[in-house]
Amino acid sequence: MKFIAGQLIILLLISGTLVGQNLCTNGDFDTYTTLPNNYAQVCYANGWSSPSGACALIVGTGSPDYYNTGGTGGCKPPTTWWATVTPHSGAGMEGFAAWYSGNYREYIARQLSTPLTIGQVYTVSLWYTNGVSTIHGYGCNNFGIAFSAVPLTQSGGTPISYVPQLESSAILFSTTWQKLSFLYTPTSADQYITIGNFRTNAATSISLLGSGTTGSYYYIDDVSITPGIVWLVELLSFTADVHENETILRWVTETEINNDYFTLERGKDENDFQKIAQVEGAGNSSSLREYSYSDPFPENGITYYRLSQTDFDGTVNSQQDTCLQEEQHYSFILELSPRFKNDHNTFQGATR
């Protein structure tokens, strides 16, 4: 079969963004008042603090850490006190204990540049890792992000009694950087953010997934709160290779968040599609993923193919716009003719 003509129709850009300014100033922890040289110097990163009020190590009190490549000792990545890890971007990052024996907790917090707007959809995201550690081998759930009208406070090292608006029900653990992202529509004009585990040990699930049994400790970087929507799947390419007896569809993703599966459909026009395959997604991924499917029944004339993505995380998207809850589409048209033979012709459309 010969490839005659191709046209890309983008119904909804999965890889696009519609976002505004980041309300979380210094979310990359790169600016500082003083370079860190000891434990618990969370407040050395401009604007950040601990709800316990500590900015030095106080045993039994919530004392999160600040790391910077310009720091000294265990504050200087990649060899920190608790793990080998480099910042996700730039020079700075922070770390906190999310689960320890005796209900010990650490949190990091700051004021937003402007209060949240009631009814506005925000994309709230950050990058996290446990690093390569021989001390903290546990992952835990209840990784939470709380918004409040006034700063939250912590008594000693106990869990803060506050229900976070955003929370991961999954146990998180990774030796590499992973992105955690939520869509959030505030119901109050809050202007403070606090990050950590707000649940007690009895209400927290843990799993030993690495080396070391001391507890669960997370490094975070690139905290972002932006009005608008960042699509949950970043699609880099969607191509078709047309052979004599089949059409091979290929697509590549750069990032996937709560991606349950892809659906491939074929149609003779833009309004009449039939499902031809369902391909399992990667769930959550921050690395390139390649997918393919061979359609054994290509038709003569114009054929429409449509790729859809379906999200399985109702917690993140259940109250958001249906275009994100349901399916997000890329389409292209292939015109095939039996009058010519060519073993390998390719249609490729730009997705950005």
The tens digit of pLDDT for each residue in 292-348 reads 999 887 666 677 778 888 776 433 322 222 222 233 444 444 444 333 333 333 333
Same domain, 192 and 67: yes
Determine the Cα–Cα distance for residues 157 and 174; give it in Å rounded to an integer: 25
Per-residue pLDDT at 8 exceeds 60: no
- Domain edge (last residue) among 172, 203, 230: 230
Per-residue pLDDT at 7 exceeds 70: no
Residue 239 bridge partners (DSSP)? 250, 348
Kindly report the CATH number assigned to the domain that includes residue 335: 2.60.40
Same domain, 191 and 292: no
Same domain, 235 and 219: no
Least confident of 25-34, 116-125, 231-240, 309-318: 309-318
Kindly report the CATH number assigned to the domain that includes residue 224: 2.60.120.260
Determine the Cα–Cα distance for residues 333 and 335; give it in Å rounded to an integer: 7
Same domain, 204 and 283: no
**Which pLDDT does position 299 carry in this prediction?**
65
Same domain, 236 and 283: yes
Same domain, 267 and 137: no
Highest mean pLDDT among 73-77, 250-254, 346-350: 73-77
Same domain, 248 and 294: yes
Same domain, 288 and 160: no
Report the mean per-residue pLDDT for the chain.
81
Q: What residue type is 281 in one-letter code?
A: G
Residue 95 bridge partners (DSSP)? 65, 219
How many domains does the structure of the chain reveal? Answer: 2
- Domain edge (last residue) among 181, 200, 230: 230
Same domain, 190 and 53: yes
**Which pLDDT does position 135 carry in this prediction?**
95
**Which pLDDT does position 249 carry in this prediction?**
86
pTM of this structure: 0.66
Q: What is the 3-state secondary structure (H, E, C) of 243-273?
A: CCCCEEEEEEEEEEEEEEEEEEEEECCCCCE
| Residue with more model confidence, 107 or 262 | 107
Note the pLDDT tens digit of each residue in 76-108: 999 999 999 999 999 999 999 999 999 999 999
Element holding 323 (H helix, E strand): helix 322-325
Determine the Cα–Cα distance for residues 263 and 255; give it in Å rounded to an integer: 17
- Domain edge (last residue) among 204, 230, 256: 230
Q: Which domain holds residue 326?
A: 2-16+231-350
Q: What does the DSSP assignment read for 9-71?
A: E-SS-TT-EEE---SSTTTT---BSS---STT-GGGBTT-B-TT--SS--TTS---EEEETTS
Q: How confident is the model at residue 139 (pLDDT cuts 50, 70, 90)?
A: very high
Same domain, 69 and 203: yes
Q: List CB contacts of 4: < 8 A, sequence separation 6 or more.
A: 335, 336, 337
Same domain, 133 and 267: no
Per-residue pLDDT at 243 exceeds 90: no
For residue 78, whether the previous peptide bond is cis, meaning omega lies within 30 degrees of 0, is: yes
